[in-house]
Structure 1
Amino acid sequence: MNNILFSTAYAADAGAAGGAFNSAALMQYAPIVLVFIVFYFLLIRPQQKRQRELREQQGNLRRGDRILTAGGILGTVQNTREDSQEVDVEIAPGVKVKVIRSTITNVLSREGKAANDS
């Protein structure tokens, strides 16, 4: 007798329910993995390379280098100290300021002798 208030439940086939490896589930996550791979090669990796180059430039500053700071100040390196993170920068004729190396965002040109050569 078929009751209107209750439906008949049927058991699913055990083989169709999926085993240890389900290719449909793998294909469901493939676009997400692909997006992460594209982000890595187009965004993350080039940015890491640029940061590595900037740290190298900051460590190799020399007297006469034209620099740009994070605050937008252009200047010429006058003196560097290996044991300190400070760099003496001339921003106008006769005006020298001390700048912390990590605030230097770009080395515009490299000319002159090494800053530690007197």
Structure 2
Amino acid sequence: MFATPASAQTTGAATGAGPDGFLSLLVNFGPLLLVFVAFYFMILRPQQLRARNQAAAINAVKKGDSVVTAGGIVGKVTKVEDRFVEVEIAPTTRIRVVKATLAEVTPLGSKPAND
């Protein structure tokens, strides 16, 4: 009712009708698409790789490995079960922890980073 004939004619081009509409749509959303692709390759993919490596290290834990739990407890593995690991945190003190709570696994015989 309040639209003039001139503005009514321009609304067809703004909606993306025709071949020029697709090109303008691509120009407008292209940078946004590139940001999502960069986000995937710079953040999501490395995070998935780290999670996969950590899960493999936890599943491969064996007797004698040094471990750090998510709670910050450091110790040496003395017994491995399906869901639990027995960790020696002092010469006569052993605790059972859930395997999923292991944050870091250092294999037997590896040197610390500062040596």
Where do 4+ consecutive residues of structure 1 move more than 4 Å?
none
Give the letter aligned to residue 71 of structure 1: G
State whether structure 2 residue 76 is matched by structure 1 residue 79: no
Instruction: Please name the residue that 2:40 is paired with.
Output: 40
Secondary structure, aligned partner of 1:62? coil
Instruction: Please name the residue that 2:113 is paired with.
Output: none
Q: What whole-Å deviation, never above 9, does each CA across 1:42-94 have from its counterpart, x for those lacking one?
A: 1100010011111111111111100111001101000102xx20000001111
Comparing 57-66 and 16-25, the one that deviates more: 16-25
- Structure 1 gaps, min length 5: 1-5, 113-118
- Structure 2 gaps, min length 5: 110-115
Instruction: Please name the residue that 1:105 is paired with.
Output: 103
Identity %: 37
Quote how far apart the aligned CAs of 1:9 are.
Answer: 2.5
Give the letter aligned to residue 67 of structure 1: V
**From 9, 16, 23, the counterpart of 1:12:** 9
Q: CA RMSD in A?
A: 2.3
Distance 1:72 1:12, change over 3 A: same
| Normalised TM-score (structure 2) | 0.79
| Normalised TM-score (structure 1) | 0.77
Higher relative contact order (CA 8 A, sep 6+): 1
Q: C-alpha distance in 1, partners of 2:52/2:18?
A: 46
Q: C-alpha distance in 2, partners of 1:44/1:95?
A: 40
Distance 1:86 1:13, change over 3 A: closer
How many residue pairs align between the two structures? 103
Secondary structure, aligned partner of 1:12? helix
Q: Whose helix proportion is higher, 1 or 2?
A: 2
Distance 1:33 1:107, change over 3 A: same
